[in-house]
Structure 1
Amino acid sequence: MRLDEAMGTYDALLLLSFGGPEKPADVLPFLENVVRGRGVPKARLMEVEAHYQRFGGVSPINQQCRDLIEAIRPKVDLPIYWGNRNWHPFLTDTVRQMADDGVRRAAAFATSAYASYSACRQYLDDIDRAREAVDGAPEIVKLRHYYDHPGFIAAMADHTAQALGRLPAEVRDGARLVFTAHSIPLTMARTAGPSGGAYEAQLLSAARLVNAALGRTEPFDLVWQSRSGPPEVRWLEPDVCDHLEVLYKQGAQAVVLVPIGFVSDHMEVVYDLDVEARDLAAGLGLPLERASTAGTHPAFTSMVADLLAEPEPAGCAATCCPAPPRRPAPA
């Protein structure tokens, strides 16, 4: 389908994202929205709140969504709306505005490239809830997972090459690429069903494609970050900081962290990688650089227009990416 034909199929583009606080007073209410029903210990919540307050109570993600919209706007001849799961502008409010504006059928682009409950199914549930709450809500079609799209791969390869170039020349050729993604519970990652195991498999595929795009044949690693939840629940491992210590002991010359699991800088990227991992590497004397997320890279923003021009994606099965079991919060 040509892009002009796609413009006739959809009459708006909806940017779906996670949301983030934009002032100190927003942080705790935002985090309570994020973890509601997940049994996250209060101490962990306060620890994460401190991460946000270290940056003035502002997550970078909302501004990055604004920047992404402005970068996409010249490439698609559609009005663009933006709705979040966890903070303003909330998706339901955005869908209400779309209905008021007469939007009948919109394509939804999520700031998450992969299959898993939180990265895909939860966005579909968010859309369903928002539409149920709004009279005359438009039909909303979520665009496909794009972890392997050439535009995403090109953006990440370019940013990774730039990070390699920032390393001292004497260690650059021996640098290890360490791809990172948000850890999730094993029950979510390896559940049975149509997408069982897809999250890990898709991340590994994206990492391989970036490595190949750089012309590298050296081994690379896929590790995890930002786990939360009750300590007795098993999550994907190894943790990025634990892995850096292993690489140091094995004699690694340098490391480039590549946040392949993110398309924009969440707080998990700027704190877990730019603070915790960087401080650890500095203490070890291990040269380390971090590749940028896809952000507003031209190849990535052009990808959105490409996705709009593709045939409409098949709807996900109701059993796809099921929610993990919920545990009650400790008293």
Structure 2
Amino acid sequence: MRAITIDRYGGPEVAQLRSDVPVPAPAPGEVLVQVVCAGVNFMDVHTRQGKYRDSRTYPPRAPCTLGMEGAGVVLALGEGVTHLAVGDRVAWCIAWGSYAQYACVPAWQAARIPEAIGFDLAAAAMFQGCTAHYLVHDVARLAPGHSCLVHAGSGSIGQLLIQTAKRLGATVFATASTPHKRAVAAQRGADRTLAYEGFADAVRAATGGRGVDVVFDSLGKATLRESLRAARTRGLIVNYGNVSGSVSDLDPIELGEAGSLLLTRPRLADHMTDAATIQRRADAVFWAIAAGHLSVDLAEPCTLDDVQRVHARIEARAQVGKSVVWIDARDALARA
């Protein structure tokens, strides 16, 4: 089969398209899936770069097949799998190997896709949608009357955070680096959009000096300390990414000086620990999309041949605000 593999860490050039990879056989507890679509995420880029080589949460190590999110059709069941059947339409995330025509996925991580949702939307929404769901509902616990600040509001997860928070009745501030990106955040429902420069002062001024209840910070080094200033006394800082780099010199006393703040660094894997939870989150995301409450902006589909180029665009921040999916056109034609 065709697959994108890495045998070492590095830039986009280490992601190699191979056509001689054996079709895997499902181990006990796994399902073999014919991949129809796969999402392309920062986590795929970070895997390729080696940022997870020492992670205890995320298992992939080179050599491996890239791709931690996908959607497809179950072709075979491993021993002991009883809650799925051959022919089921499923989607998954944080299970690597989806940059391929076929993938073996732990059955407990595969969520059924409703008929109203296409494979492309399922592949693009699984990781980012479930991330927004747990951050808003489980970590921040937003409710009517709450306020929050969403950094990178035009990004894929940022857009979903804005929409989910607004649907719960929260007031949403959002940052983005350009007028165009701020317009995207506003279109998704942000009550006020801000440039990064001086964002903490702007939030304070807009809230009468109080600050917001929650800050969703996916950038890390470039924004985290200012995020502390944007939060209210006893507010919550949710640092769920480090796109701009890690903060390695934060003294806990700074949280006290900023108003007895709470700081958390959550990961999706710890909020997707069993099949029932995964299906519940996926159902909530898919229902919101089908009902028109959640919009996922898809980029143009590409193929396995385009992965290096797409990774380069993501690293250059050129793939703004869109969830990328690739479709193996020849495989799709064969199925048709």
- Shared fold (TM-score, shorter chain, > 0.5): no
User: TM-score of the superposition, structure 2-length normalised?
Assistant: 0.36
User: TM-score of the superposition, structure 1-length normalised?
Assistant: 0.37
Which structure is higher in helix share? 1
Which structure is higher in strand share? 2
